Structure 1
Amino acid sequence: MKTTLFAPALFIALAFIGCDKRQGNLKTIESENQQFAVDTLAKGLTNPWGAAFLPDGKILITERKGVIRIFKDGELQEQTIEDVPAVFAKGQGGLLDITLHPDYATNGWIYLTYSKPGANGASTTVSRAKLDGNKFVEFQELFSAQPFVDSDYHFGSRIVFDGEGHMFVSSGERGDKPSAQTLSNHLGKVLRLNDDGSVPKDNPFVNTPDAKPEIWSYGHRNPQGLFYDRDTKTLWEAEHGPKGGDELNRVEKGKNYGWPIITYGIDYDGKPISDITEKEGLEQPVFYWVPSIATCGITQVKGELYPGWKNNILVGGLILTHVARIELNDKGQFLKQEKLLDKVGRVRLVTQDAEGYLYVLTESPGLLLKLIPVKK
């Protein structure tokens, strides 16, 4: 049974009602299923991309230009993290995602993805390091997508862990459409690595001649959203379409997600990329957006703080400057969506901390927002 809704996205606008309701001095917002308030924790961020929550309460925020900001004691600090790796800070490239190892309390590893400069261009790269005060130490480069490409866009570059010793990394096709269908490169792929950067023996293409053994799935365009649901062992991915055709996908081992053979979008010049939207052997998205919202960081709401949104998927929208809330049925099929935080700014990341609170990172303006649940 297909899990795709073959219809343009229908948005339900967020209503700011009940002006007399307050959470402290914050205005209560009524969404369809959940009341909440928005606390602006920090302003003045420059192209923020990823965030990691340290056990001591600090939040590390990457800025694409190659800087890691520190949010501490309720303020954005002037001091930044030292000895960050050099990045290709051009176009969509730069310092991108950041996350903690699931056993960070024991091993102290912090993982970064970024566009690494090289002789032939740049590559989506994964490294890890530890913190000594506000300085990175024990730096290790674990993986670089091959080949390096002379292009400054479509790096993908999210990283998530499955809690079983593996990490998933997204890599864009760097503007070379056919590469997404070619197993001899890492472009337009979701990759699966061991947490030390080595290749898991049960990856789907480890025994396929000329295939890159790190590949988990292929046929992706520019996947800038990843979330791994450890409850159901489901990997969710959001990727940019061209002009229309952004996708929310359930990513499974060895499967082909179709780009550019099938797509619900057209090229930026208005010309068709493909004359088909489905084909046997190619996966359909769980949901797609026409027009594009420019999907970015995603999360699935876990815990008990937001009961009205539990297990919903939240997707950041860059172009349409909001958070899309996606409801699924018990089979993981699309039911409906709601527009949250309309016109808040270009939403780069939606994430949860260890306590279960939701955070949103935006650019233009560069904000760190915390969503405070409000009980009726």
Structure 2
Amino acid sequence: MRLIQFLMPLSGMLLLSIPFAIAAQTFSSHNTRFSLETVAGGLEHPWSLAFLPDGSMLVTERAGRLRVIKSGRLLPQAIEGLPSLAVSGQGGLLDVVPHPEFADNKTLFLSYAHRSSQGMTTRVARGIFEGERLKDVSTIFEALPRSSTSRHFGGRMAFDASGYLYISVGDRGEMDRAQDTRDDAGGVHRITLNGEPAPGNPGLDDPSINDTFFTWGNRNIQGMTLHPETGELWTHEHGPRGGDEINILSSGTNYGWPEITYGIGYSGLPITLHTEKEGMAQPLHYWDPSIAPSGMAFYTGSEFPQWQGSLFVGALKLRKLVRLEIENGQVMEEEDLLTSLNERIRDVRAGPDGSLWLLTDSSKGKVYRVVPAQ
């Protein structure tokens, strides 16, 4: 069974009846023409987009607000009841992911930065979305130890077909932490819906590895999605100056940062002389120079037959949308889209209406819908 059949309840049924705002711009791909519709604007650094079964959408603003788009309109009032969070540097309110059975239990999961007297960290909370607020909010994951830095929080999340939650945590700008498997920074964690280590995690049988770890040696993952047919977890992560990576994650795998990388330091000096080492995975694909990737989605809709199976990645630094043609788990072709838009693409989602959805990262960020050109 294709995994997309399992995922349909996560996103709801159809959004086709929503009267979206029409402020369209037309662009070209080498195999199709498409329009970009502005659905909402005026968002303060929007970070994540999620679809709900009733056709509405949720948008996080890094400044600490959770917003609702309903019937094609951004509601003015932010959702109340969010957990206490810190907005500093790259930190704030990050990802929002509905429970796989949201239609029945109304449960949401939020990732965010949190501050205490010991410093800042990445947290995940669970709450019940009722009316215009979150209720019964509780913390189910906290990356330790904390740090004084305000960067590389990671924060992307995804559910697999077994209902386990994956959470990325960046190296917090302290690169050597990514190789310390007793330190939660610099990897991906897999937990149950109650925050317990997921069965089969590599650290459950190894006291040298924290028991929620799924992978480590990851610098700062801000793109995460499941392959619609294989169910494998695909991610991308920021490199330093070059060396952004796409990886297919495998349990207990070390992805090498900072022992191996195809990038160099921001100073221009090498971080390491190695691009490969025994026991460390090679990326499926990498970018040099860096595009600063964020957001990631496979396209499985019917609106763009030419894009079926393509992987879409947003780019912050190089301000574009990247389309990758995938064949047998390999990148066969790369195409840059929306280069003339000149906007930082923060999130990319495949909507249940067959469209592709984008968020732009700015103080007046937007929600865009990609549709076929008329």
Match of 2:229 in 1: 231
Q: Deviations over 1:218-268 (max 9, x none)?
A: 100011110012420211111000011111111111111110011111111
In structure 1, the residue matched to 2:270 is 272
Deviation at 1:374, TM superposition (A): 4.3
Matched with 2:53 is 55
Contact 1:163 1:230 in 2 (8 A): no
1:116-162 deviation digits (Å, cap 9, x = unpaired) = 11221111111111122101111121110111111100000000001
Any residues of structure 2 matched to 1:207-246 within 5 Å, and which? Answer: 207-246=205-244
- Counterpart-to-counterpart distance in 2, 1:352 and 1:262: 32
Q: Is the 8 A contact 1:191 1:214 kept in 2?
A: yes
Q: Which residue of structure 2 aligns with residue 367 of structure 1?
A: 366
| Cα pair 1:344 1:362 within 8 Å, conserved | no
List per-residue Cα deviations over 1:50-75 (Å, max 9, x = no partner): 11112222211111111112222222
Question: Structure 1 residue 344: deviation in Å?
Answer: 3.7
- C-alpha displacement of 1:277: 0.8
2:316 counterpart of 1:340:
no
Structure 1: gaps (5+ residues): 1-23
Partner deviation per Cα, 1:6-43 (whole Å, 9 max, x = no partner): xxxxxxxxxxxxxxxxxx87454321233321101111
> CA-to-partner distance for each residue in 1:154-211, whole Å, 9 max, x for gaps?
0000000012120111000101111101110111001111122111221112111132
Kindly indicate whether the alpha-carbon contact (under 8 Å) linking 2:126 and 2:140 is maintained by their aligned counterparts in 1. yes
SS in structure 1 of the partner of residue 177 of structure 2: helix
Q: Does the alignment pair 1:184 with 2:182?
A: yes
Q: Which amino acid aligns with 1:254?
A: G
1-structure distance, mates of 2:214, 2:263: 24
Q: Which amino acid aligns with 1:87?
A: L
- The aligned residue for residue 5 of structure 2 is none
Whether the 8 Å CA contact 1:51–1:59 is kept in 2: the answer is yes
Deviation at 1:46, TM superposition (A): 0.7
Counterpart residue number, 1:10: none
State the Cα distance separating 1:305 from its structure 2 match: 2.4
Deviations 1:256-287 (A, max 9, x none): 11100111111111111011111221111111
Q: Is the 8 A contact 1:47 1:64 kept in 2?
A: yes
TM superposition shift of 1:304: 2.2
Work out whether 1:327 is the aligned partner of 2:294.
Answer: no
User: How many angstroms apart in 2 are the aligned matches of 1:134 and 1:246?
Assistant: 38
Q: Given the alignment of the two structures, is residue 140 of structure 1 paired with residue 138 of structure 2, yes or no?
A: yes
Decide which moves more: 90-99 or 275-284. Answer: 275-284
Q: 313, 316, 319: which one pairs with 1:318?
A: 316
2:178 match: secondary structure: helix
* C-alpha contact (below 8 Å) 1:240/1:246 kept by paired residues: yes
Paired AA for residue 130 in structure 1 = I
- Aligned pair partner of 1:153 in 151, 154, 164: 151
- Residue in structure 2 matching 1:87, options 85, 88, 104: 85
2: CA distance, partners of 1:355 / 1:164? 25
What secondary structure does 1:79 align onto? coil
Partner letter of residue 149 of structure 2? S
Counterpart Cα distance in 1 of 2:277 and 2:38 = 45
- Please identify, of 49-58 and 235-244, the stretch whose mean Cα deviation from structure 2 is larger: 49-58
In the alignment, which residue of structure 2 is the partner of 1:128?
126
Cα-to-partner distance string for 1:78-124 (whole Å, 9 max, x where unaligned) = 11100111211000000000011111111111110001112211111
Within 2, Cα distance between the matches of 1:360 and 1:171? 23
Candidates 285, 288, 293, aligned match of 1:287:
285
Q: Which residue number in structure 1 is paired with residue 65 of structure 2?
A: 67
TM norm structure 1: 0.90
Q: Which runs of 5+ in 2 are unaligned?
A: 1-21
**Corresponding residue pairs, total:** 351
TM-score by length of structure 2 reads: 0.91
Structure 2 Cα separation of the partners of residues 46 and 293 of structure 1: 22
- Cα offset for 1:77? 1.7
Task: Quote the offset at 1:368 in angstroms.
Answer: 0.4
Q: Which residue of 2 aligns with 1:257?
A: 255
1:46 and 1:366 in contact (8 A); partners too: yes
> 1:300 — aligned with what?
298
Q: Percent of counterpart pairs with the same letter? A: 40
Opposite residue 183 of structure 1, the aligned amino acid is: T
> Partner of 1:7 in structure 2?
none
State how far apart, in whole Å, the 2-side matches of 1:253 and 1:116 are.
27
**What is the rounded CA distance, in whole Å, between the counterparts of 1:107 and 1:210 in structure 2?**
37
Q: CA deviation at 1:328?
A: 1.7
